[in-house]
Chains A and B, each alone.
Chain A
C-alpha cells in the first residue's frame, strides 16, 4: 500500500502525485473577520491526510468550503486537476465528496437503514414507487447491511433506531453512510472527539479500511496519537492558512504541536506543501 516517494528537490512544487482534491488561495471573510486567508490544500489519491490546527485557525471553515457548506470569496478548488465550483453541499456530493460532521448528521429516532439513505431514499419499482411514492425498505436494508459489513462494523440489525446505539456505533453509521456514497473523497470532522479510547481505536480502524478501498480521507482531529497512528501526511493550519505539510515519520508529536502554535518554523519543503 505504501507509495513510493518521489525524489524531491527543495523547491518541489511540481506534483508527481495524482491529486484527488486541491485548493489554491482560498479566502473567506465574515464581516471584518478573515476566517481563511489564502489557504492552499492538497489531498492525494489513496492517502489519509490529517488537518490539524489551533482553535480559530480556520480549519473548519477550510473544510466547509471543500464540502460545499461555505462558498469562498476568492480562490479555486480542483478535483483530479479540474476546476470545480460548489454552491451547496449537494454540489460537493455530486462530485463524490462526503462529509461526516462533528455533531453527527444522524436522526436518533430513525432506524439505521433510513439514516444511511436519508436524503437519497430508494423507491419501489413500478406504480407503488412512482404513484404512491412507497419506499423500498427491503432494498435499503439489504444495501445498508452490505455497507456496514463491508466496513466490518458489527451491528446486528439495520432495523434498530440509531438512538439505541453507542456513540462509537453512531459514528460507525455516519462514516459508513459517507463511505457508501463518497466515491471521491471522504471528510471526517473530529470523528473521535466524543468517544472513549477503545471506540476511537475502532473509528481509526474504519478510516484505514476506507483508505484501503482506495478512497482518500481527510481527517480533522485534535487527537495527536490518532493522527500519528493513521495519517500519511499532516496538514498544519495556522492563522487562516496552511503553515506546513509534514510527514509524521519525520516529525515528533511535540514538534508538530510547536508548528501548530507557531513556536517552531517549518522547513522550506514543509512550508511549500511537503514532498
Chain B
C-alpha cells in the first residue's frame, strides 16, 4: 500500500503557547477591555473603586443575561431583535400576576409567556423557514405594543421577596455584589458548558457554520435551532427576574436599548454574525466592555447620547473586524 501525505504547512503558528493566545478568538476583546479599564482609571480615580466596579457588574446583569440568548441565536446564523422586548413583557407579567396569584404562580405564567414567545420565533424560523431578522422584527413590534396594552400607562411595584431576590446583596470581603450577578455568571457557565461539552452545543455551531453539511451529517438541524429559541425564552425570563431585582418596578418603557446592547456585546465579544464561530466567554467580556465604557464615560461627565455614539461605533468596528477575518480565512 502506498501512503498518502497531505502537507501541513499553515498550522505551525498555532502550536506555541503565545501563538495560541494570540489566535484565541477572545484575545482582541480582552485587550479592548484592558485598554478601556486602563484609560478610564487614568481619567478618574473613582473608576477602580470597589463600589464602582460592583455597580458596573450590577448594571450589566440584565443585558449580560440576555446576551447569552443572543449568542446562541447568532451562533446559528440568526439574530433576535425581540429578546429584550420579551424580557420587558416578562417583568410586566410577573408584576401583574404576582399581585393576583402570588409570586410562584406568576413565575409559572411568565415562564409560559416567555418560552411561548421563544417557541413562536423558533417555529416561524424553523418550520416556515422565514429569515430570523424579519421574524423577530415582527414579533418585537407586536410584543412592544402588547406590553403597552397590558401595562396601560402604569408601572407596577413589586414587593414579593422572591421576585426581588436577585437584587439582594452580599459581601465577598469588602466587595459588595448581588445574587443577580451570581445568576448571570451561572447562566454563562451553564451555557458555556452546553456549547463546548455537549453534542447539542457542537450541533449549534454546525447549524450556523454549515447548515447543509450538518443536515447531511445526520444532525437534526431544525430541531436544534428550535431548541435554541426555546432556551432563549427561558433566559429572557431569568433576565426579567433579574430586572425586578435591580429595580423593583415593572415599567413597559424600560430596557429599550437592551436588545441592541446584547447584539453589541455578542459582536464585540468576537462571535461572528455569520454564525458558527464564537462563544459565550467572548460575550461576557463584550458585556463588561459595554459596562466599563458607559461607566467610564459617565464618570468623565460625557452625555449618555455620546455614549450611544461610542457603543454604536464600537459595533461597526467589531463587525468590520469580523468581516475582514472571515474574508481572510475563507477560500
Residues on A lying within 8 angstroms of B by beta carbon are 69, 89-90, 93, 99, 101, 103-110, 114, 118-121, 123, 132-135, 151-157, 160, 163-164, 166-169, 172, 199, 202, 205-206, 208-209, 212
Contact = CB atoms under 8 A, between A and B. Distances in A.
Contact of A172 (B6, B10, B202, B209): B6
Contacts of B219: 118-119
A26 B28 CA distance: 56
Interface secondary structure of A, over-half rule:
loop
Contact of A109 (B3, B203, B205, B218): B205
Contacts of B216: 69, 89, 99, 101, 105
B10 to A, nearest CB: 6
Given A154-B4, A172-B6, A108 B217 contact: no
Nearest to B272: A109
A114 B202 contact: yes
Interface stretch (B193-201, B287-295, B296-304): B193-201
Contacts of B154: none
B257 interface: no
B195 to A, nearest CB: 11
B6 A154 contact: yes
B138 to A, nearest CB: 30
Contact of B202 (A90, A121, A163, A164): A121
A107 B1 contact: no
Contact of B4 (A90, A167, A172): A172
25 contacts: A90-B218, A103-B213, A105-B217, A106-B213, A107-B206, A107-B210, A108-B276, A108-B330, A110-B202, A110-B205, A118-B203, A119-B218, A132-B193, A134-B197, A135-B202, A152-B1, A154-B4, A155-B8, A156-B11, A164-B10, A164-B11, A172-B4, A199-B6, A202-B5, A209-B2
Nearest to B194: A133
Contacts of B202: 110, 114, 118, 121, 135
Given A120-B218, A134-B197, A135-B199, A156 B210 contact: no
Given A103-B212, A151-B4, 11 more contacts: A106-B210, A107-B205, A123-B199, A132-B198, A133-B197, A152-B3, A154-B5, A156-B8, A157-B11, A163-B330, A172-B4
Rank and list the top 9 A-B pairs by shortest CB-CB distance, nearest first: A119-B218, A105-B213, A121-B199, A105-B216, A119-B217, A107-B209, A118-B217, A133-B198, A205-B4
Interface residues of B, number: 35
Given A135-B198, A135-B199, A160-B11, A169 B210 contact: no
Interface string B217-244: 1110000000000000000000000000
Contact of B209 (A90, A108, A132, A202): A108
Nearest to A174: B213
Nearest to B196: A135
B27 to A, nearest CB: 15
Interface in B292-331: 329-331
A203 to B, nearest CB: 8
Interface of B: 1-11, 14, 193, 197-200, 202-203, 205-206, 209-210, 212-214, 216-219, 276-277, 329-331
A107 B214 contact: yes
Nearest to B220: A119
B214 A109 contact: no
A167 B331 CA distance: 9
Contacts of A202: 4-6
Nearest to A169: B6
A36 B13 CA distance: 50
A208 B2 contact: yes
A212 B2 CA distance: 11
Given A109-B209, A134-B198, A118 B4 contact: no
B6 A133 contact: no
A251 to B, nearest CB: 26
Contact of A107 (B9, B14, B193, B276): B276
Contacts of B198: 132-135
A166 B219 CA distance: 25
Contacts of B214: 105, 107, 118-119
Contacts of B205: 107, 109-110
B209 A205 contact: no
A201 to B, nearest CB: 9
A118 B6 contact: no
B8 A169 contact: yes
A236 B206 CA distance: 36
Instruction: Name which of A135, A156, A160, A199 has the most chain B CB atoms within 10 A of its CB.
Output: A135
A153 B4 contact: yes
B178 to A, nearest CB: 28
A208 B262 CA distance: 52
A32 B171 CA distance: 74
Instruction: Name which of B5, B209, B210 has the most chain A CB atoms within 10 A of its CB.
Output: B210
